[in-house]
Structure 1
């Protein structure tokens, strides 16, 4: 009879991975340090995850950094919330110091790359997609607009600024991006309650 998997070890290991990523980064992450922090052994970890990359992907999926579920009744406001969660999530060392190197490592592992997209990246898109669908139902978006393209239009500027650091991505940047994109794909559904902050703190 197969031994039942101890989920307490699973959770302890994934929590250890996330904590160590914040402390030492992706390149310095070792199985030895993970085992010590989680109070387990390297063989116990390797029975569950084949490689360090598999561990990191699993930890990122468990942590769900930057994923929020919002429904304010205002498409504009919901998108700003999603983008601000993405912005602050990417500022977390568990993502900011991991994604570039991890994505490079995934280039030669199509199976794990597909898993990464499914369990790490897709939940963020699904949460924002739900807000866009509600906005579409309210008539806030133009008909015939591809939601996948719209999602990319919203997320790409945040990723670009945070990961490359060529320009600041301050608290006002999600608002600026939302206004720019909705101005092109929306039906003028800019929230009247939200002050015009572009230029005021969008780059700060």
Structure 2
């Protein structure tokens, strides 16, 4: 069951009022606290109070940065997974493998994946939270993948006619699917298998650096 959050939608971190110096370590401590608590229990058990205590800060300090509990969790998600993981190496396979491996590693090396089902459920009742998630995390990562695909098109490695909305989905969806449902593991070779499977459908005959 989704958590019910009565707070306003999350916002990026804001400066402390009254001219007080802002404690820049709280952001990192809050992220670590979220990961620690998700490693101990489910997303539905998270509270701002528990995060504050674990981070060694206060609820008001957290609320000055994020107006809601999901806002803190989205911040932790961004901190772990990043927003621009796809490199520019001059090789489409290398670029995409770096980006998808980043996602796979983040989902398996931390407890952040434990929050995904609850966050997705929260989106259904909170359009502002969903917009925040898409703006701050989801779309930047997709744009990183699109940029790699556009570079590959310019080099003649993949077809110019690929669907630029569908292809990023094909690359990332298997990882999110397994993180959400847990029906199969995110194993060490999955990222490479995904990339090679997708490239098998979009590589041009002249692509010469896919393997």
TM value normalised by structure 1:
0.80
Q: How many residues align?
A: 193
Aligned equivalents of 1:89, 1:20: Cα separation in 2: 17
Return closer, same or farther for 1:157/1:166 CA change in 2, 3 Å cut-off: same
Which residue is equivalent to 1:130? 147
Which residue is equivalent to 1:144? 161
Q: Does structure 2 retain, via aligned residues, the 8 Å contact 1:25–1:93?
A: no
Cα shift at 1:170: 2.2
Aligned equivalents of 2:198, 2:208: Cα separation in 1: 10
Can you give the 5+ residue segments of structure 2 that lack an aligned partner in the other structure? 1-16
Which residue is equivalent to 2:49? 32
Q: Which has the higher contact order (CA 8 A, sep 6+)?
A: 2
Deviations 1:25-73 (A, max 9, x none): 4222222222222222223323432221122122222333585242222
TM value normalised by structure 2:
0.78
Q: Does structure 1 retain, via aligned residues, the 8 Å contact 2:108–2:186?
A: no
Alignment of 1:104 with 2:97, yes or no, is: no
Can you give the 5+ residue segments of structure 1 that lack an aligned partner in the other structure? 195-204
1:73 to 90, 98, 101: 90
Q: Does structure 2 retain, via aligned residues, the 8 Å contact 1:66–1:88?
A: no
> Once superposed, what is the RMSD of the aligned Cα atoms?
2.5
Deviations 1:94-143 (A, max 9, x none): 32101011110121110110100111222321222221121111011212
